[in-house]
Chains A and B, each alone.
Chain A
Amino acid sequence: MLKDYLRDTADKALSSVVARRYTLMVENEPLTLYIDEKNKRIKGAEFMDRKVNLNLTQQTIEEMMNFPTRNINSQKLEGNDDFTKNVAGMIKAQLNLAISKTDKKVLDRFARGGLVAEDERGNFIEAINKPTGLRGVLYGAVKKTNLIISNLVKRIDNFFEKLRNKVANADLTSYQYLNEYQLKEFNKAPPIADLGDLKDFKSENGKLYTMATEFLKENNITSINDTDTADKEIQNTFLTKAFSAGFTDVIDNKKALFAELQRMNQQSAFDEKEQSLKEQIAINIEQSDRQINFHKEQVTTQTSHINQLNETINSLESKIEFLQKTIAAKNELLEDFKIISKDFPQEEKIDLLTVNQEYLNLPNEDQIAFENQHIFYDNIEPAEKTEELNQIEVLKQDNQITQEQKEELVERENYLQDTTAQVVNGENFDDTDHYYERYQQQQLDLIDIPNDNPSEYQEFNYGENSLRDEFFSDKSNSNNRN
């Protein structure tokens, strides 16, 4: 018990200063994420022993943190588009890199890791390069549809901006409807205060009245008159009863009987009305709640849908921009790659690297060194890194830290101290701005996206690897363009 308490206390202390390790099993292959739980952000990730960059949203990170364990099966995040999109993009880039170098070790790991379809595992390299397989068909479709969207952007002025505006305006209608509903429908139900104080309908205390009430109830009397024999008999019975009880004034007794009858009838009518109104109110409130919840859900869903759509628009816009910027860029030497890839995220950098001739001709160990220096590094600021390392040093001396927690700290320390992954800021890029601008201008001058003629689709370079280009016979086109 005390041991658990100490472990939990130490765990909280760890989480507040050190990024915690989460292991996500992507099929049989682990993806390690270091999560800063306090600020809900990723501070490092590893996949197949390489440092990878994953920009997951805070919602996704929270979803991971809500699992009872830090070892998570990625299938549990299958419905999370942000997770799947980012991880799938990273996996695809890693695969492309391995294919570009025919890195059999990594390709074998893909097959064994269960990241490929079962039918393709036997002869993986052959299967993934088969033009009629899914990968081949997808490659062609992605390339061709890139061109379709590029053409759309070219032919419709401010295409993405227009779409964003339309999507945003579509959202407003539901808010408008919700307001109308709140004003007209929700207020239909009468306020409780209008029903008055129900206690006013209770009779004044007094034995006579109590007796009258009991009598009327016992005999189930709801009306009474002075003409019918039966009613006369009823009155007589009560008056006799009251007299026997000591109430000698017959007139008062009769008044009491009729007053009480009248009161009871009023009460009964009121009770019925009250009940009916209460039921109606309950129904109205329930309906209103249901309607409001429905509209709230609708608005939430719509807002989330709109956000998702905006993300999709942004992501596609960036992709098209990337393609347009790189389509005509010179990417033969490593220096070209450094300049062109400067502002692109990891996945795009890999896309560019897989077609860089100088890189492809490097010996394997030099390729790995170059990748580690220019692609597989973490994005943690040096000051943050130093601060976290200092905290780890302090925590390692803490007696309350368990052996398992100590091991986690050492692992994190090693990750942060791993010098094969250098922060790229300022490294080798100090004097490249001038060249980068020149390349940007060159790209703008050269960009000329072909029209919808299907034969010209082949000229659109998706920035994929040369090995695969051989299978799709469009390598020569891509080279000619430069």
Chain B
Amino acid sequence: MDLKSKMQDAIDNLDHKQVAWIHKSDVIDLRDKAVILHQSLEHTDEADKGIVEESATTFLTQTEEVISKINSGEYKC
């Protein structure tokens, strides 16, 4: 799976509907960042691509655990 698809997957999985109200804001924060990174991967000039790809990869690593917890279904209201 390429980086863009992985980022799209992260956007889909960072779903605030799957968590209680106290967690929604942070999940939305992460989803917003994922959207921005996804758009950056889509549109960034060649010169900046390396930096964006590096950021996207780090982002995916940092959100792995969050996504796995959201998908566990334990944090729903």
* Interface set of A (CB-CB < 8 Å, partner B): 26-27, 78, 81, 84-85, 87-89, 91-92, 95, 110, 114-120, 128, 134-135, 137-142, 144-145, 148-149, 151-152, 155-156, 159, 162-163, 166-167, 170, 309, 312-313, 315-316, 319, 452
* B35 nearest CB neighbor, chain A only: A312
CB-defined contacts of B65 to chain A, threshold 8 Å: 137, 141
Q: Is the CB of B36 within 8 A of A92?
A: no
| Cα–Cα, bound, A313→B33 (Å) | 9
Choose among A87, A119, A152 the residue that contacts B51 (Cβ–Cβ < 8 A). A152
Q: Is the CB of A149 within 8 A of B33?
A: yes
Choose among B23, B35, B55 the residue that contacts A309 (Cβ–Cβ < 8 A). B35
Interface SS of chain B: helix
- A84-B16, A138-B23, A156-B51 given; A170·B58 CB < 8 A: no
Q: Is the CB of B16 within 8 A of A88?
A: yes
* A113 nearest CB neighbor, chain B only: B21
CB-defined contacts of A120 to chain B, threshold 8 Å: 20, 75
Q: Is the CB of B26 within 8 A of A452?
A: no
Interface residues on B, range: 35 or more
Q: Is the CB of A92 within 8 A of B33?
A: no
Q: Is the CB of B20 within 8 A of A117?
A: yes
A-B contact count (CB 8 A): 132
Q: Which of B8-50 contact A (CB under 8 A)?
A: 16-17, 19-30, 32-33, 35-36, 39-40, 42-45, 48
* A347 nearest CB neighbor, chain B only: B25
Choose among A92, A117, A139, A159 the residue that contacts B74 (Cβ–Cβ < 8 A). A117
CB-defined contacts of A115 to chain B, threshold 8 Å: 20-22, 77
Q: Is the CB of A134 within 8 A of B23?
A: yes
Q: Is the CB of A148 within 8 A of B59?
A: yes
> Apart from A92-B24, A117-B74, what 14 extra A-B contacts exist at CB < 8 Å?
A88-B24, A91-B24, A92-B26, A110-B22, A115-B21, A117-B19, A117-B77, A137-B65, A138-B30, A139-B26, A141-B62, A152-B55, A156-B52, A319-B29
Q: Is the CB of A163 within 8 A of B36?
A: yes
| Cα–Cα, bound, A137→B71 (Å) | 14
B3 contacts the other chain (CB 8 A): no
Choose among B25, B55, B58, B69 the residue that contacts A89 (Cβ–Cβ < 8 A). B25
User: How many Å from the CB of B16 to the closest CB on chain A?
Assistant: 6
- A117-B19, A138-B66, A156-B48 given; A452·B54 CB < 8 A: yes
Q: Is the CB of B32 within 8 A of A312?
A: yes
| Cα–Cα, bound, A119→B76 (Å) | 9
| Cα–Cα, bound, A120→B69 (Å) | 14
Choose among A128, A145, A309 the residue that contacts B22 (Cβ–Cβ < 8 A). A128
Q: Is the CB of B70 within 8 A of A134?
A: yes
| Cα–Cα, bound, A286→B70 (Å) | 45
Most chain B CB within a 10 A radius of its CB, from A26, A95, A135? A135
Q: Is the CB of B54 within 8 A of A309?
A: no
- A151-B55, A315-B32 given; A141·B66 CB < 8 A: yes
Choose among B36, B70, B75 the residue that contacts A313 (Cβ–Cβ < 8 A). B36
